[in-house]
Every structure is written in C-alpha cells, then in structure tokens.
C-alpha cells in the first residue's frame, strides 16, 4: 500500500489518480502535491468520549468521501499523504480498505519525502474545487468487515491461538508507566512494537526496509499465517502499522479502532502492566 514519491510524480496528470491531502487546511493551502484535494482528518474518526478513534457511520463516511471524488469507481486510484508522520494518511488508507475500495496507496514518507525529492508542489489561498459531479458513493456498508475488530469480538478472542495482538504505542504506555485512559497497561498477550520502529531511522517517516520489519515481527512470533490485530491509543499510530503489514503482504490484518482509549476505559476488560524496561 505504500508507494514511492517518484512513482506518484509520474502519474500527476492521470485523471484516474486522485491525490488526497489528509490534515491541516492552512498547511494544505501553503504547500500541497499538484492537483491534490483536501480531507480533514476529523472526517475519518468518530469521537465518543472517552473513546477517541472509532470508525464513523459508513453512510456518513461514504458521502463525505464522495464529495471529494472518492467513490464507487473501480478505475480510480486514491493516493493519500500527510505531513504528520503518515498516520493520518494511513487512517484514510485503512478506512478505504475497510470500505472495500480496490486501489489505495500512501505516499511513503509523506510530504517530507516529497519535498526532500524536490518534486513539484503548488499553493493557493483557495481550496481546489472538488471533482464535479461528485463521485457515486461507495456502498454504505463495509465490504471488508474483517479489517475492523470491535470490542465485543475482542473480549472473547484476544487470547485465541491464531490471533496476534500488536500494540504499537510507546514502551511507557505499553508497560502502564504512562496511562492515557482510566487504566494503564496493555491487552493480555499483546506484543509490543513502537510504531516509530517501523520507520526508517535515517528517512522517517518513510518505511523501514521490509526485511528489517519482518525480522522484528518474527522475533515477536508474528507471521502472515496469524490474524494480526493492531492497536494504539486511538488507531492513529496503528493505522500506519496496518498499512505497513499490508505492504509486506500480510493478508489477515485487522485494526482495533477503539484501541486503548476504549479498552483501558472499560471496567471489565483485563489489563496487564509490566515494570518499566521489561
């Protein structure tokens, strides 16, 4: 699902490629990829305090996406990017994967990588007009429901033999030293891999070489044969992990969108804390 900036640059004039900037409108107006349309990150999440990252109602979501040109057109390739570490763009990619859009990519390294490669940009004080007419909306129901794991299912399956939970928060959040919910810690059995470790230390937020990520996953007893469920605090960081695993060819990847903001605020879900450094 990650795509290199130079490959995107060769398709800037392709009418079937839709480039979507996910994030801040003022920054979008100052610097954006040529022809990009803008989508606020808030359109991709449904805050339900204290839970922060739930998926929106599909009917509302597909209408919002159709308004910027993302719809039920099998010929359209969506390319998402942001300037915030690729988490926001990855959230759009996961959303479209869940809804069943057949072709979606994330610019590897985001706007930083694009600028670093000295590729063309544009700016304007006005937001570009969305495609007219708006796209035919995607079906108002998830076409790949397996891409989303919800609380009720996870309660009964987090310790299944074929399931692997991957917690991509910081070490301090995972251990419980830092608690961003009513309780700290992690879901029992969850493996830990900070999302920053998925990124190339010399070219972040671009993806680390695939072989290195695969080695880290094997060290945690995670393989393509498992159902891998990624989570963080609000499915921002874990969206990046989802796209990374899909890029590596993992077919059975799912996201727990409620993440720790939901699990850690439930009074009847088990939580594990570990001494710092373990």
| pLDDT tens for each residue of 87-102 | 999 999 999 999 999 8
What CA–CA distance (Å, rounded) separates 150 from 53? 12
User: What is the arithmetic mean of pLDDT over 183-211?
Assistant: 97
Residues of the chain with CATH 3.40.250.10: 2-116, 145-263
Q: What is the arithmetic mean of pLDDT over 200-217?
A: 96
Contacts of 272 (CB under 8 A, 6+ apart): 176, 185, 186, 187, 188, 190
User: What's the pLDDT at 75?
Assistant: 86
> Mind telling me the catalytic residues?
232
Q: Which fold has domain 2-116?
A: Oxidized Rhodanese; domain 1 (3.40.250)
- In this predicted structure, what is the pLDDT of residue 118? 97
Residues with Cβ within 8 Å of residue 174, at least 6 apart in sequence: 167, 185, 186, 190, 192, 274
State in words which class domain 145-263 has: alpha beta
pLDDT at 131 over 80: no
Query: Are the beta carbons of 161 and 185 closer than 8 angstroms?
Result: no
pLDDT digits over 57-115, tens only? Answer: 999 999 999 999 999 987 899 999 999 999 999 999 999 999 999 899 999 999 999 99
What is the structure's pLDDT at 85? Answer: 95
> In which element (H, E) is residue 106 found?
strand 104-107
pLDDT of residue 33: 97
For 214-244, the DSSP string reads: HHHHHHTT--TTSEEEEE-SSSSHHHHHHHH
Average pLDDT for 113-127: 88
Q: Give exposure, 221-244, as e/b (b: 16+ Cβ within 10 Å).
A: ebeeebbbbbbbbbbbbbbbbbbb
Distance CA 52, CA 90 (A): 16
In this prediction, residue 60 carries a pLDDT of 93
Q: Distance (Å, rounded) from C-alpha 50 to C-alpha 42?
A: 16
Give the DSSP H or E segment for 148. Answer: strand 148-149
Q: Residue 124 half-sphere exposure, CB side, CA atoms within 13 Å?
A: 12
202 falls in which pLDDT band (50, 70, 90)? Answer: very high
Nearest CA among 231, 269, 253 for reference residue 53: 231
Give yes or no for a contact between 104 and 93, defined as CB atoms under 8 angstroms apart: yes
The region that residue 151 occupies, defined by phi over 0 for left and psi between -120 and 50 for alpha, beta otherwise, is: alpha
Q: Cα(167)–Cα(241) distance, rounded to whole angstroms?
A: 10
**Interacting residues of 28 by C-beta distance below 8 A, sequence separation 6+:** 21, 36, 38, 127
Q: What is the dihedral of CA 51, 53, 57, 58, to 10 degrees?
A: -160
């Amino acid at each position: 699902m990650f795509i290199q900036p130079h490959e995107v640059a060769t398709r800037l004039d392709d009418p079937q490629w839709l480039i979507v900037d996910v994030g801040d409108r003022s920054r979008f107006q100052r610097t954006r990829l040529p022809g990009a349309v803008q989508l606020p990150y808030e359109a991709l999440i449904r805050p339900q305090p204290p839970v922060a990252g739930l998926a929106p109602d599909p009917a509302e979501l597909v209408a919002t996406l159709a308004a910027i040109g993302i719809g039920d057109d099998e010929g359209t390739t969506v390319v998402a990017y942001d300037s915030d570490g690729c988490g926001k763009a990855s959230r759009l990619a996961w959303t479209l994967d869940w809804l069943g859009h057949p072709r979606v990519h994330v610019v590897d390294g985001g706007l930083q990588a694009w600028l670093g490669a000295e590729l063309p940009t544009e700016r304007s004080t006005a937001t570009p007009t969305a495609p007219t007419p708006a796209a035919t909306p995607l079906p108002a129901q998830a076409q790949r429901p397996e891409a989303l794991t919800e609380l009720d299912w996870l309660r009964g399956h987090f310790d299944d033999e074929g399931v692997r939970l991957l917690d991509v928060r910081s070490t301090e959040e995972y251990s419980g030293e830092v608690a961003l919910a009513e309780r700290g810690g992690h879901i029992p059995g969850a493996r830990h891999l900070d999302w920053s470790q998925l990124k190339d230390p010399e070219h972040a937020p671009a993806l680390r070489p695939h072989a290195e990520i695969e080695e880290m996953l094997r060290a945690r007893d995670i393989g393509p044969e498992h159902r891998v469920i990624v989570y963080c605090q609000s499915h921002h960081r874990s969206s990046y992990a989802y796209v990374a695993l899909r890029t590596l060819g993992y077919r059975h990847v799912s996201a727990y969108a409620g993440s720790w903001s939901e699990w850690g605020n439930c009074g009847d879900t088990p939580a594990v804390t570990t001494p710092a450094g373990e």
